[in-house]
Structure formats: structure tokens, C-alpha cells
């Protein structure tokens, strides 16, 4: 097992720009995604979702549909095999939406009620749309609002405390010369990866074989084994290419449905979700209501810090959007209070969506800090510098590294911040008012146990096998660079094999922890391999393989505040006639560990910042109170940033290798979106003199 202090030669692969190993395959169409791989005797399942928001299924009228051409089966709660829901999966207890067709209760619009299986997708779809499902409807409640009845403070989870408190908040607020007390809201938001969720399942020689689009094939395999009470070794999940994830592609109902139908029909079954179905079946970001109270001395030093965040969950599963977590490592104060509250409603269970918690939390808190800077007549960057903590404000733990101010310094220099006139509403260019804004970013830097195998082949190449997922981030390529450096060979001599649960347990592509966790495992396996190779002797035809398991090393990491940081800058123009906000440029500077592949890392940061722009100005899922369902649950009705909305975006980083990681990685997946919406909202204030505390900043809100 490698240790973090072991000296290691560097060949320069890590840190040098490298195009994607699978780039050619992707642009030529040779790379095949889960719904594209042919199988003999393949059948097609089409999902039917509930149209009511609460009640019971009275009947599923299968008979007419079973008589339609090509239809093989209609699965529903009356005939589906039983699955287990009483287990702890890799990500905790499962959302009951995974236990498909186990009872007649309907807890929200878009709950899976039937699967129609047919010989072709067209036949399955036509039959599914013909299927009549009758319900006994009950009154529903989908109305989220700040402080509404039913809101409660949940139990602490191992991941995060629901509530943190130190000092006397009210006393410090009273003693503060300057106070900001404001409420912010963010709407329900959706991730909708370009490649919809798709899975094929079949039984092959006593094994359940699955091809799925997911963020972690081993996690999906383990979850399927538990759901269907199977020996874990009898499930194999592969996910070679994935067209986006963002938290949406954990284990979701489509893969359970495919496995269930394949079991019933004794034939391969593929289930592909439609774009509309994704709006209720694969998670989303809860709306949030956040109250922030900041009390400060006239010089901007915080005395009181209060961040109370509310979100919703479903009636069947508790998921908390932890917006108030954002400020816990960020700013200290004499009295410091944070809480995440939640209310269960008759809606689908929300879930992880890029920077869960930090994305909405940073909008509220980094907006409030801008308001405090205004009230203190201070530069917003100087305000943040004044409140830079020595240790974790809530935990008291030291930071592994914290280079937030270095990000602001570099960002301010490149953005031209020094020339900024702080007065709002004073710059005009024809019908446009101009402004600039900034905000800070942070996201936890984590690592999770993973296993890897590295083989020295007889031909002088090396094969890496790890259940990593490349969801479009470039992880496959990054890991090849890590392996090349560890082996001190050129990247061209590395063969990467990923996304096959048979390769062993490994972290998912999630929580900004994938590449770091996998790189650690690969580095450890290479260390082991080099020891074996150092013993001498030739390489046999089957090669020499070394394996690693980073469980112990990861668990032995000292407790510290481990985070990435960043500084976001934006310039906007606001049309005084139409209320339209145009972002003219964005700059993000990040301190996010050693950057493995600058080419794909920059893309990932820019992707996050683009999403932050979209969050600031466009995205908003609207729930119809009467039906309990969405208005416009598709990519026409759900407005998001198009190319024409996105200006030149620059992303770069300061040197910040993680001192406790074998490669120096911290993880970059989420931090790019954090703070981006606040920087834009702060720029809109600077342009117009009006604070926008409710997202998105639509033209009708600006006017």
C-alpha cells in the first residue's frame, strides 16, 4: 500500500493537456451508449407514470393492451415479483421509488405504475400510451413556501449535521453595528443529462447482466443485488460511455424495471426514459427558501452569522438539500448558527444535483455578503478577506489547505477589479446598465475507498481495470495520465478499462470524489506492481497483475477541513427597456488540488459556471398546484441557457496540491457552479442598484 509521503518520480503526464482517449470514438459514433448496444432477442419496456399526485391505483386495464401487436407483458403492482426495500444500499436506505410496483399507493405525479414490454420500442410506446390506469384520488399538497406548516429539522446524518450552533446569536446581532437580514429563494431545478437514462438487462448463464447509463456501475450492481436478493457476484453492470450524470445517474427505476422485466420474460429487456419521464423519475434539486442574518462591526468583521435553509422532500423518502452547509467552512463569527429544515410534500423525491446544497446555499450567502459589503461601504473582496478563518469556524479543525484569497487576488487582477467604481446604477451604455460582481466558492474535498488492478502486459503495455465512470468529464483520460506518471511510462502505453462492476468496488463519479478516489487506488496498485516487477524475472503471457484496496488508507486520513475554493467574477448588462440580463463575461479562479488534465478540467469548470449562469437567469421548474405535476416538463418548457446566452467564460486555477493525497488531487466536479449565480446577482445589483434575492432573475422581476 502506498503512503502519501512516499517519493515518486513524475513523468509529466499529469498536468499536461491531453485529448480524450475515447474522443475519436465519440465523434465518429463508434462509442456506443447504453441504449445503442444490440442484443439478440431484445425486447423493449416503456414506462407508465401516474397522472395523479396522491391516492391509490384502483385498476390497471391490461387486457386490451396485451392484445396489441407485439406486446409481451404489462407489469404492475398486481403481478410484479417482490423486491426488497429493507436494506442499506451503498448510498444509504433506498428511495422507495426503486421498489417498483410493490403496492397500490401513489405518492406523487410521475410515480411508476406500469411497464409495457413489447417486441419494438414503437409497439411498447403505443401500448403504454393506450394503457388505462384507474385511480382513487386523494387531496394532495405540493405547495412549498418559506416556513410553511410541516417544516421540521431532520436528524443529523453521518454526512452532515442538520444544525450547528455556537455563541449567542441574538446577543451578537444586537451588538452589531451593521446587520443584513434577508430572505432568498431558489426554484425547483432539474438536471437532464444529454443522454437519457437507459438500461438493458438479461440473464446469461445464471448471471444478471446489465448495461446501464450510470455514475457508478458497482454501486448499481450492489443495489440490484440487494433489491432482488441476489448474490452480489451474480450481478454484472457495465456503463462504458455515459452522456452526462450530474447526480441524476445514481441507481434509478429504469434499471430496476429492466432487471425485473428480464426476470419475468426470460428475454433481454431495454428501458429508456423519455425526457419528460426524467423530470419525475431521476431526482432534481428542491426549491429552497433561505433566511440569512449577518451582524458585523463597522469594519466588516462578522459577529453574528445565521443561515437557515429550507427545502422539500417527498412523503416516501427524506432527502435534504443542505444549503446551510455552504457557510460552515467559510466564515467565522462570535455566534454562528446554521440549519437545514425540510418539509415532506406530495412530490417526487429530490436528489443530488451538481453541488447539492452548495449551489443554492452559495447564491444566498454570497449575495448576503455583498449586501453586507455595501452596508459597510467595503469592497466585497476586502470583506471576505477580513473574515478569513484560521480554522474551520464550526469544526475548529485545521484546513488541509485554503487558498481562497489567492483565488480572489488572481481573479481580481485578471478581471480588472481594481478599477471598479463601487457605486451601483451608474454605468450606462445606450439602453444597457452595466455592472460587475464577485462571489466565493467552496466544495468539500472527499475521497472514498476504491479498488483497482494494474497489469504489466508481456508486450510492454499496462492495463488498468477499475470500476470508474466517465460521465463526460474526461475521467478515463485523467486516470490514464495518473497511471502513466505512477508507472513512469508514456500515456500511450496505458490501456484503460473502466465502468464494469466485475472490476471490483470503487467510488462513483459523484461528490467531486471520483477521479481522486480512483487515482489513489490506481497509484496504490502501481506501487504494488512495481514491487513485484522489481523482483525480476520475465513477464508471462498473461501478464503480472497487482491489486489495491484503499479502504484503510482513506479511513486513516486525519480529520481536517478539506475543501476546494474559488472566486467567481461576472460582468452583466441589463436592458432597461426589457429587463433582460446579458452576462458579458465570467471568470472563475479555483484552488482545487492538483489539476490532472488542464484541457478537460477547464471544460468542467466552464461547464459548472455556465450552469451557474443558467441558474441565475433561466432555470425554474414550475409545479401546477391543481394537478401536482409540472408545467412544461421538457427542454422546451424548462428554460436553460442556450449558446447565445453564454459569453466568453474563462476558468483557471492557482497551485493547490492536496498535501495528503498521493497525486495531490482534491476534486473539481462541483465547485465550478458554486458562487456563480451569486456573482451574477451581485453584478445585476451593481448595474441597477436593485437586489435580486429570488432566482431566476427573469426580465419581469428586473423591470
Nearer Cβ to ligand MOS, position 353 or 481? Answer: 353
Residues 252 and 257: their CA atoms lie apart, in Å, by 9
Grid cell 426554484 — which residue?
187
- Virtual torsion, Cα 549, 552, 555, 560, nearest 10 deg: -100
Distances (CA, A) of 1 to 5, 76, 179, 666: 12, 49, 53, 20
Nearer Cβ to ligand MOS, position 112 or 244? Answer: 244
| Shortest distance, position 510 Cβ to ligand MOS, whole Å | 3
Nearer Cβ to ligand MOS, position 45 or 245? Answer: 245
Residue 353 touching ligand MOS (CB under 6 A): yes
Region of 156-164, 202-210, 349-357, 637-645 interacting with ligand MOS (CB under 6 A): 349-357
Residue 393 touching ligand MOS (CB under 6 A): no
Specify the length of the chain in residues: 703
| Shortest distance, position 340 Cβ to ligand MOS, whole Å | 16
Residue 443 touching ligand MOS (CB under 6 A): no
String marking each residue 294-333 x if it binds ligand MOS according to CB under 6 A:
----------------------------------------
Region of 11-19, 244-252, 336-344, 486-494 interacting with ligand MOS (CB under 6 A): 244-252
Among 112, 247, 357, 411, binds ligand MOS (CB under 6 A): 247
Task: Look up 670 and say whether it is catalytic.
Answer: yes
Nearer Cβ to ligand MOS, position 420 or 476? Answer: 476
Residues 202 and 160: their CA atoms lie apart, in Å, by 38
Nearer Cβ to ligand MOS, position 511 or 664? Answer: 511
Nearer Cβ to ligand MOS, position 107 or 245? Answer: 245
Which residues 6+ apart lie within 8 Å of 27 measured at CB?
none
Which residues 6+ apart lie within 8 Å of 233 measured at CB?
none
Nearer Cβ to ligand MOS, position 159 or 555? Answer: 159
Per annotation, catalytic residue among 172, 188, 195, 670: 670
Region of 52-60, 245-253, 320-328, 566-574 interacting with ligand MOS (CB under 6 A): 245-253
Map 465-494 to HEC letters: EECCCCCCCCHHHHHHHHHHHHHCCCHHHE
Residue 245 touching ligand MOS (CB under 6 A): yes
CB atoms closer than 10 angstroms to residue 551: 15
Site for ligand MOS in 508-547 (CB under 6 A): 510-511
**Closest-CA residue to 207 (of 498, 502, 453, 497):** 502
Sheet strands side by side (includes 462-466) = 494-498, 462-466, 451-456, 544-549
Residues 489 and 396: their CA atoms lie apart, in Å, by 43
CB-neighbour burial class of residue 423 (10 A; exposed 0-12, middle 13-18, buried 19+): exposed
| Shortest distance, position 354 Cβ to ligand MOS, whole Å | 5
What number of CA atoms fall less than 13 Å from residue 376's CA on the CB side? Answer: 28
Region of 227-235, 347-355, 400-408, 447-455 interacting with ligand MOS (CB under 6 A): 347-355
Site for ligand MOS in 483-512 (CB under 6 A): 510-511
**Residues forming a β-bridge with 179:** 295
Backbone angles phi, psi at 415, to 5 degrees: -85, -20
Site for ligand MOS in 204-243 (CB under 6 A): 215
Among 101, 219, 246, 462, binds ligand MOS (CB under 6 A): 246
Residues within the interface to ligand MOS (CB under 6 A): 215, 245-247, 352-354, 356, 510-511
Catalytic residues: 670
Amino acid at each position: 500500500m502506498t503512503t502519501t509521503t512516499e517519493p515518486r518520480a513524475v513523468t509529466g503526464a499529469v498536468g499536461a493537456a491531453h485529448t480524450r482517449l475515447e474522443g475519436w470514438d465519440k465523434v465518429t459514433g463508434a462509442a456506443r451508449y447504453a441504449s445503442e448496444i444490440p442484443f439478440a432477442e431484445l425486447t423493449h419496456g416503456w414506462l407508465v407514470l401516474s397522472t395523479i399526485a396522491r391516492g391509490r391505483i384502483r385498476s390497471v386495464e391490461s387486457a386490451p393492451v396485451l392484445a396489441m401487436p407485439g406486446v409481451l407483458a404489462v407489469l404492475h403492482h398486481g403481478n410484479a415479483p417482490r423486491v426488497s426495500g429493507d436494506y442499506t444500499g451503498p448510498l444509504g436506505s433506498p428511495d422507495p421509488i426503486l421498489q417498483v410496483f410493490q403496492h397500490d399507493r401513489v405518492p406523487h405525479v410521475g410515480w411508476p405504475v406500469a411497464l409495457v414490454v413489447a417486441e419494438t420500442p414503437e409497439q411498447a410506446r403505443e401500448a403504454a400510451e393506450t394503457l388505462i390506469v384507474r385511480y382513487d384520488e386523494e387531496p394532495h399538497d405540493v405547495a412549498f413556501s418559506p416556513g410553511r406548516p410541516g417544516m421540521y429539522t431532520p436528524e443529523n446524518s453521518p454526512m452532515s449535521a442538520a444544525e450547528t450552533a455556537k455563541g449567542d446569536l441574538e446577543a451578537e446581532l444586537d451588538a452589531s453595528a451593521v446587520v443584513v437580514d434577508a430572505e432568498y429563494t431558489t426554484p425547483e431545478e432539474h438536471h437532464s443529462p444529454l443522454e437519457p437514462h437507459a438500461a438493458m438487462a438479461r440473464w446469461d448463464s445464471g448471471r444478471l447482466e446489465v448495461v446501464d447509463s450510470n455514475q457508478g456501475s458497482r454501486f448499481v450492481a450492489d443495489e440490484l443485488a440487494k433489491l432482488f436478493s441476489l448474490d452480489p457476484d451474480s450481478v454484472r453492470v457495465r456503463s462504458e460511455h455515459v452522456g452526462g450524470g450530474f447526480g441524476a445517474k445514481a441507481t434509478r427505476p429504469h434499471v430496476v424495471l429492466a432487471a425485473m422485466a428480464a426476470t419475468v420474460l426470460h428475454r433481454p429487456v431495454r428501458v429508456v426514459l423519455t425526457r419528460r419521464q426524467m423530470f419525475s423519475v431521476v431526482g432534481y434539486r428542491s426549491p429552497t427558501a433561505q433566511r440569512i442574518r449577518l451582524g458585523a462591526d463597522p469594519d466588516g468583521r462578522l459577529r453574528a452569522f445565521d443561515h437557515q435553509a429550507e427545502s422539500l422532500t417527498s412523503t416516501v423518502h427524506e432527502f435534504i438539500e443542505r444549503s446551510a452547509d455552504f457557510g460552515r467552512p467559510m466564515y467565522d463569527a462570535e455566534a454562528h448558527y446554521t440549519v437545514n429544515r425540510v418539509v415532506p410534500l406530495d412530490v417526487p423525491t429530490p436528489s443530488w444535483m451538481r453541488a447539492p446544497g452548495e449551489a443554492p446555499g452559495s447564491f444566498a450567502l454570497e449575495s448576503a455578503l455583498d449586501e453586507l459589503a455595501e452596508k459597510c461601504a467595503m469592497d466585497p473582496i476586502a470583506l471576505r478577506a477580513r473574515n478569513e478563518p484560521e480554522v474551520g469556524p464550526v469544526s475548529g479543525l485545521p484546513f488541509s489547505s485554503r487558498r481562497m484569497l489567492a483565488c480572489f487576488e488572481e481573479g481580481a487582477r485578471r478581471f480588472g477589479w481594481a478599477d471598479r467604481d463601487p457605486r451601483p446604477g451608474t454605468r450606462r451604455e445606450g439602453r444597457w446598465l452595466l455592472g460587475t460582481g464577485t462571489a466565493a466558492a467552496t466544495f468539500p474535498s472527499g475521497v472514498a475507498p476504491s479498488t483497482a488492478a494494474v497489469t504489466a502486459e508481456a508486450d510492454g503495455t499496462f492495463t488498468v481495470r477499475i470500476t470508474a465512470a466517465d460521465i463526460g468529464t474526461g475521467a478515463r483520460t485523467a486516470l490514464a495520465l495518473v497511471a502513466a506518471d505512477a508507472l513512469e511510462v508514456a500515456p500511450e502505453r496505458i490501456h484503460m478499462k473502466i465502468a464494469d462492476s466485475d472490476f471490483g468496488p470503487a467510488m462513483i463519479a459523484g461528490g467531486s470524489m471520483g477521479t481522486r478516489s480512483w487515482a489513489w487506488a490506481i497509484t496504490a496498485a502501481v506501487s504494488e506492481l512495481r514491487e513485484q516487477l522489481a523482483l525480476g524475472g520475465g513477464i508471462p503471457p498473461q501478464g503480472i497483475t497487482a491489486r489495491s484496496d484503499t479502504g484503510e488508507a482513506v479511513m486513516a486520513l486525519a480529520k481536517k477541513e478539506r475543501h476546494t475554493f474559488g472566486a467567481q467574477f461576472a460582468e452583466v448588462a441589463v436592458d432597461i427597456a426589457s429587463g433582460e440580463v446579458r452576462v458579458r463575461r465570467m471568470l472563475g479562479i479555483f484552488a482545487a488540488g492538483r489539476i490532472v488534465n488542464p484541457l478537460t478540467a477547464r471544460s468542467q469548470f466552464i461547464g459548472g459556471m455556465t450552469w451557474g449562469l443558467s441558474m441565475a437567469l433561466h432555470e425554474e421548474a414550475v409545479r401546477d398546484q391543481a394537478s401536482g405535476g409540472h408545467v412544461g416538463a421538457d427542454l422546451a418548457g424548462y428554460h436553460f441557457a442556450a449558446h447565445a446566452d453564454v459569453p466568453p467564460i474563462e476558468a483557471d486555477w492557482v497551485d493547490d496540491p492536496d498535501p495528503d493525497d498521493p497525486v495531490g488531487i482534491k476534486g473539481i466536479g462541483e465547485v465550478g457552479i458554486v458562487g456563480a449565480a451569486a456573482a451574477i446577482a451581485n453584478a445585476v445589483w451593481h448595474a441597477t442598484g436593485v437586489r435580486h434575492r429570488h432566482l431566476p432573475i427573469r426580465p419581469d422581476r428586473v423591470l
